[in-house]
A = this chain, B = another copy of it.
Amino acid sequence: MPRSKVKLAYISDDSARRTTFRKRESGLIKKAEEITTLCGVEACAILYSPYSPEPNVWPSPLDAQRVISRFRNMAPPEQNRKMVDQQSFTRQRLEKTTEKVTKLGTENRHNEMTQVMYQCLSGRLGLECLSIGDLYYLSGLVSQNLRVIDRRLEFFQRRDHSG
């Protein structure tokens, strides 16, 4: 950055922070536009700030929705499909997933999924955002709890009918 190099830390001065935000916000969007145009890829960016009543959503709220709905849905864009054949694509993905799972460990995964479940239930997270692996795990987790709940309900019903 010009004139002086700025420390990469929260700018405490309100005015300076706002000015910096405005400048960098436009810079960031410009960069996003460029990479999209130059490389023919899809991208979206969402910026929240206290300076605008709405988030700055690029390229547009509608386009962003489309991009977001494909979030973690790993089909590549149509025009580039030829570049990555399905087989190597699948293999890559498998390797990546395996590596990830190994790294995370069972306990981490469980905690993460519990978090996800909580977010889903409270409506803070859309399921379309999860990978297939996440969904399988989540399905198991939910099913398990449903069975426990059903057993509990049966207990109540038996008790109410008999007593």
A residues near B (Cβ < 8 Å) are: 6, 8-11, 14, 17-18, 20-21, 24-25, 27-28, 31-32, 34-35, 37-50, 53-55, 57, 60-62, 64-72, 74-77, 79-81, 83-84, 86, 89-90, 92-93, 96, 110-130, 132, 135-136, 138-139, 141-143, 145-146, 148-150, 152-153, 156, 159-160, 163
Q: List 22 A-B contacts (CB under 8 A).
A: A8-B37, A9-B37, A10-B37, A21-B35, A41-B49, A46-B71, A49-B80, A53-B92, A60-B81, A61-B72, A61-B80, A65-B129, A68-B126, A75-B163, A110-B122, A114-B118, A117-B117, A118-B118, A120-B148, A127-B145, A138-B149, A142-B145
